[in-house]
């Protein structure tokens, strides 16, 4: 599933697996970091 669609987080809710939750959280943090970097580049 594509991280952009939030599919990982939805899947983690369905499975209730700590490992899946960790992957979903990691994917979310990566998306936030990428968004922050893009915003910073636009400001400079």
What confidence tens digit (pLDDT) does each residue in 1-14 have?
455 555 555 555 55
pLDDT at 30 over 60: yes
How far is 27 from 41, CA to CA, in rounded Å? 21
Q: Could you tell me which residue, 38 or 14, shows the higher pLDDT? A: 38
In this prediction the pTM is 0.48
User: What is residue 32's predicted lDDT score, i.e. its pLDDT?
Assistant: 96
Nearest residue to 24 (alpha-carbon basis) of 14, 37, 10: 10
Residues 20-42 have a mean pLDDT of 92
């Amino acid at each position: 599933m594509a991280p952009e669609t939030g599919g990982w987080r939805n899947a983690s809710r369905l499975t209730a697996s700590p490992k899946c939750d960790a992957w979903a959280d990691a994917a979310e943090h990566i998306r936030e970091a990428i968004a922050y970097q893009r915003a910073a580049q636009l400001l400079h």
